[in-house]
Chains A and B, each alone.
Chain A
């Protein structure tokens, strides 16, 4: 055992070790993130001279297209319409889902409530159901011959709307996202609630606050950081909605193949065969996501660093 030599080897080991541990992640990142992203950006600035699918190798000439793909993506009325649809959809999903998540979290956290673990589990359960299957189940529940809601409306003598077309479609689509996402967000907020110090409540109670007042004045402000975070993730998920409208599509004529921006991208790339236009649209979407994320994170960081940093 020669102490110095071992020491030397060890410090070399310590120096090299982090790179060794990071090697798999770095290789995978390069191959499956960096390379595809770079390729997508490259594609977005090029176009093919020969028309056709052009997905394979062979006789196709890719020439520099400049910003052409971008200008046509941004001025494409289909794209703008899909973006507006998703905005409308998100305007329903995000507030309702987070509102319900907050409400359920507060209810779980309040005193003398029964059926707590049953409710927590049941509300969290949809997280385990793949988006495609969730959309499939709800899709059947929206079909006129199957739907219990339409049956109920009929029994009450009310008109039966088409749940998968026009205005009601937004609600139907939003319902699937709300159903699938409330539980997860509820758990996030609930956990934040439970890690608040008990003294705060004691003090509020001594001051004569009711449960409701404590919820509104103490609990909600204190879980604001997790609300910001869940808000942030919900917005991103909304921008990227794809599986659910794609799954509902075969059940109705009310959903065009470009309903959401990602469906439009998919459609351009694999049905229309125009991967260059699709790449430009995808890059625009990615940039929009980043811009929004940074704005939100910056806003929330300022908020939370102003508040007590524990």
Chain B
């Protein structure tokens, strides 16, 4: 990852429509003759791909309506009428621990992503705007963190946390996730692309301190990129499994992923838990899907993958 200096061009147009870039969708209106015929084969290919991706989601919606017996005896995609029962079971299971897991996941993901975005913004800004000794060396050292297999970190992190008497605490799951090498990388890319050095210089001429320049000039200009970093981190922490799985023993502190995993594991001996697992999985997936549907209009995908591109 050395070609970082020439960052994305895709930052400038924040919206999905990049003027003058290739042929994208056929010209709207006016040129009615061109968009007239549908290309059947490509459309069919895309629809097939979409159906493949929706299949497990469709299944979990149907399966959550089945009672324990129906699950293994009726046809997969035949809905049952047990959804409210399943929901009630899930609510009462171990005094609603499921909702506790959901709350924990929200807590880890929100707080972790906010802190991570802040740290990434600071670091990215420093790398992009200042020339100082050891800049590239430190940047590359942080970047290698991307390549580090999670387990090589998680085992010693666990042992060190144990030394500090911090295992099985919220902090043990939260703290190691705040620094994200990928977030710092994105922070630098966005800062380089979005902040003109002339503005920083102008700020200095006007007598503004470095912190003030960061707050008043850099943050507003970086904000679309910061949103992207936040979402990346949110999804990454929400999806995280290994670290909480290793760190936590008390299931009151489990995030959703670890909670559902333990339920599934118990299901091997108590198949009645399977309906809970399935209903729980549905309820765990829905908020993220809803979030995606809402944010996809704000979340510029150009921005997202433009940075990955370079």
| Residues of chain A at the chain B interface (Cβ within 8 Å) | 6, 10, 13-15, 17-22, 24-26, 28-29, 31-33, 35-37, 39-40, 43, 55-57, 100, 103-104, 107-116, 118-119, 121-134, 136-141, 143, 145-148, 151, 179, 182-183, 187-188, 190-198, 201, 225-226, 229, 236, 239-240, 242-243, 246-247, 250-251, 262, 265-266, 269-270, 275, 278-279, 282-283, 285-286, 289-290, 293, 297, 301, 304, 309-310
CA gap between A132 and B163 in the complex, in Å: 29
Residues A137 and B241 in contact in the complex (CB < 8 Å), given A33-B145, A107-B45? no
Q: Please, how many angstroms separate the alpha-carbon atoms of A250 and B270 in the complex?
A: 12
Q: A304 to B310: give the CA distance in the assembly, Å.
A: 10
Interface centre among B20, B51, B63, B179 (most CB of A within 10 A): B179
Residues of B within 8 A of A229 (CB): 308-309
Query: Can you show 30 pairs from A to B with CB atoms below 8 A apart?
Result: A6-B207, A14-B204, A24-B119, A32-B179, A33-B179, A35-B160, A110-B42, A112-B34, A112-B35, A112-B42, A114-B38, A118-B50, A119-B49, A128-B285, A133-B281, A133-B284, A136-B281, A137-B59, A140-B278, A145-B72, A196-B21, A240-B149, A242-B151, A250-B267, A262-B149, A270-B246, A282-B152, A283-B152, A289-B148, A290-B144
CB within 8 Å of A: which of B107-142? 118-120, 122-123, 125-127, 129-130, 132, 135, 138, 141-142
- Residues of chain B touching chain A, judged by Cβ–Cβ distance below 8 Å, are 1-3, 6, 9-10, 18, 20-26, 34-39, 42-43, 45-47, 49-57, 59-60, 63, 71-73, 75-77, 118-120, 122-123, 125-127, 129-130, 132, 135, 138, 141-142, 144-145, 147-153, 155-157, 159-160, 162-163, 175-176, 178-179, 184, 204, 207, 209-211, 214, 235, 238-239, 241-242, 246, 256-258, 260-261, 264-265, 267-268, 274, 277-278, 281, 284-285, 288-289, 291-293, 296, 301-302, 304-306, 308-309
B308 touches A194 (CB 8 A): no
CB distance from B130 to the nearest CB of A (A): 4
Known: A121-B293, A246-B241, A270-B246. 13 other contacts (CB 8 A): A10-B207, A15-B132, A39-B156, A39-B159, A43-B159, A119-B47, A128-B285, A132-B261, A188-B309, A196-B22, A250-B265, A286-B152, A289-B149
A interface, over-half SS: helix
CB distance from B166 to the nearest CB of A (A): 11
Residues of B within 8 A of A192 (CB): 305, 309
B242–A243 CB distance below 8 A: yes
Name B156's contact: one of A14, A36, A56 (CB within 8 Å). Answer: A36
Q: Is the CB of B53 within 8 A of A141?
A: no
Which of A25, A28, A36, A127 is the most central at the interface, judged by chain B CB atoms within 10 Å of its CB?
A: A25
Of the candidates B59, B126, B209, B256, the one whose C-beta lies within 8 Å of that of A140 is: B59
Find out whether the CB atom of A28 lies under 8 angstroms from the CB atom of B179.
yes
Contact of B3 among A57, A240, A301 (CB under 8 A): A301
Grouping DSSP codes into helix (H, G, I), strand (E, B) and loop, the B interface class, with mixed when no group exceeds half, is helix
Contact across chains for B257 and A130 when beta carbons are under 8 A apart = yes
Given A128-B291, A137-B60, also A18-B126 (CB < 8 A): yes
The number of residue pairs between A and B whose CB atoms lie closer than 8 Å in the complex comes to 335
Does the CB pair B149–A285 fall under 8 Å?
yes
Is the beta-carbon distance between B21 and A282 smaller than 8 angstroms?
no
Taking a contact as CB atoms under 8 Å apart, the answer to whether A194 and B22 are in contact is yes
Residues from chain B with a CB closer than 8 A to the CB of A133 are 257, 260, 281, 284-285
In order of increasing CB-CB distance, the 4 nearest A-B pairs are A122-B50, A36-B156, A18-B130, A28-B179
Cβ contact within 8 Å between A247 and B261: yes
Q: What residues of chain A lie closer than 8 Å to B129, measured between beta carbons?
A: 18
Are the C-beta atoms of B179 and A36 separated by less than 8 Å?
no
Among A13, A112, A124, A193, chain B packs the most CB atoms within 10 A around the CB of A112
Whether B123 contacts A22 by the Cβ 8 Å rule is: yes
Q: Which of B39, B157, B214, B308 contacts A32 (CB 8 A)?
A: B157
Q: Contact check: which of A28, A125, A225, A250 meets B309 at CB < 8 Å? A: A225
Kindly state the separation between the CA atoms of A25 and B127 in the bound complex, as whole angstroms. 12
A17 and B179 in contact, given A35-B160, A197-B21, A289-B147 (Cβ under 8 angstroms): no
Cross-chain contact of A103 among B45, B209, B214 (Cβ < 8 A) = B45
State the Cβ distance, B306 to closest chain A Cβ, in Å. Answer: 6
Nearest opposing residue in chain B for A309, CB measure: B6
Taking a contact as CB atoms closer than 8 A, the residue among B53, B130, B274 that contacts A125 in the complex is B53
User: Is B264 a contact partner of A247 (Cβ separation < 8 A)?
Assistant: yes
B287 nearest in chain A by CB position:
A128
Nearest-neighbour CB distance to chain B for A46, whole angstroms, equals 12
Indicate if the CB atoms of A191 and B301 lie closer than 8 Å.
yes
